[in-house]
């Protein structure tokens, strides 16, 4: 009987010890849980802040290339505009040069046509007769179709026999028109008054063939010098 009691006591003692150990372990686990939870709660804001900072840095890093790309695109647009403007300016200059060349060609053609008209037979439709005002005149030509050659002068006209004057140049123009001899192919032998302030007479010789002409011209107010008679000299 005594042994049975001792056995029960031992069992109770073992159970108490086991419960005590279990409670201690449970307490340790709870303490560890509390410590871990506190540690997580304390570190969580810092990690969040670190994550936020890292996130912001990442976004800025991503946005920076976009900004650079935008700037690069803007620079390329400006360059393209400059290139386009340069091409447009070059095209405008080429068009202007072409127009200028066309105008020059037109002027040359007009001058050529005028010279051709004058260099063609100037005596076509004219009255031609043998002899003239003196013994050295081979033939006399009078053309009713002759017109004044025009003038750049204004105001009251006075004949001027100065080789550097505008009036002299226009007199030679009338002589060239009447004879068909260009001014650069003629040598003026004499040019002067023909009996009145508004009448003149000139004697020329062609440079290429040596033919001589004596031409009478008269002034028409506002219209310039007009040929009235051409005499071909012997």
Instruction: Divide the 234 residues of the chain into consecutive groups of 10 and give the mean pLDDT of each group.
Output: 66 82 88 84 60 56 49 56 60 59 54 45 82 90 95 93 96 96 96 95 96 97 96 94
- pLDDT at position 1 is 56
Number of compact structural domains in the chain: 2
Domain end point (choices 120, 148, 166): 120
Q: Is residue 107 domain-shared with residue 131, that is, in the same domain?
A: no
Q: What range does the domain containing 28 cover?
A: 1-120
Whether residue 116 is found in the same domain as residue 144: no
| In a shared domain, residues 143 and 41 | no
Inter-residue contact 34 to 26 (CB < 8 Å): no
Per-residue b or e along 157-174, where b marks 16 or more CB atoms closer than 10 Å to that residue's CB: bebeeeeeeebbebbbbb
Identify the pLDDT of residue 221: 95
Give the pLDDT confidence score for residue 157 in this predicted structure.
94
pLDDT of residue 125: 82
Closest by CA to 203, choosing from 173, 170, 233, is 233
pLDDT for the residue 12: 77
- How far, in Å, CA of 119 to CA of 171, rounded? 17
Q: What is the pLDDT of residue 119?
A: 41
Domain check: are 48 and 89 in the same one?
yes
> For residues 2-36, b (16+ Cβ closer than 10 Å) or e, as one string?
eeeeeeeeeeeeeeeeeeeeeeeeeeeeeeeeeee
Q: Are 114 and 130 in a shared domain? A: no
Claim to verify: residue 111 and residue 130 sit in the same structural domain: no
Report yes or no: 212 and 233 within 8 Å, Cβ to Cβ. Answer: yes
Angle CA 216–221–224, to nearest 5: 50
Of 103, 120, 137, the residue that ends a domain is: 120
**What are the Cα distances from residue 132, in Å, to 59, 61, 183, 214, 229?**
110, 107, 25, 11, 10
Asked if residue 138 and residue 86 are part of one domain, the reply reads no
Give the span between the Cα atoms of 219 and 225, in whole angstroms. 4
Phi, psi of 231, rounded to the nearest 5 degrees: -120, 125
**129 and 102 in one domain?**
no
Same domain, 50 and 110: yes
Same domain, residue pair 37 and 97: yes
What confidence score (pLDDT) does residue 142 get?
A: 95
């Amino acid at each position: 009987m005594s042994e049975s009691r001792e056995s029960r006591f031992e069992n109770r003692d073992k159970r108490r010890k086991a419960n005590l150990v279990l409670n201690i372990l449970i307490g340790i686990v709870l303490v560890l849980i509390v410590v871990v939870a506190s540690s997580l709660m304390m570190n969580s804001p810092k990690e969040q802040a670190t994550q936020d900072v890292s996130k912001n840095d990442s976004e800025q890093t991503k946005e920076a290339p976009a900004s650079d790309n935008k700037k690069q695109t803007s620079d390329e647009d400006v360059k393209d505009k400059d290139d386009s403007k340069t091409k447009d300016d070059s095209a405008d200059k080429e068009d202007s040069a072409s127009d200028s060349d066309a105008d020059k060609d037109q002027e040359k053609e007009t001058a050529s046509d005028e010279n051709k008209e004058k260099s063609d037979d100037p005596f076509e439709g004219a009255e031609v007769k043998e002899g003239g005002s003196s013994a050295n005149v081979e033939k006399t030509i009078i053309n009713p179709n002759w017109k004044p050659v025009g003038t750049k002068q204004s105001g009251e006209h006075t004949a001027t026999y100065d080789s550097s004057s505008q009036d002299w140049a226009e007199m030679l123009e009338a002589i060239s028109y009447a004879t068909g001899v260009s001014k650069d192919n003629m040598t003026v032998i004499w040019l002067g008054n023909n009996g009145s302030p508004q009448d003149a007479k000139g004697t020329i010789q062609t440079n290429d063939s040596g033919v001589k002409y004596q031409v009478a011209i008269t002034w028409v107010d506002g219209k310039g010098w007009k040929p009235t008679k051409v005499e071909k000299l012997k």
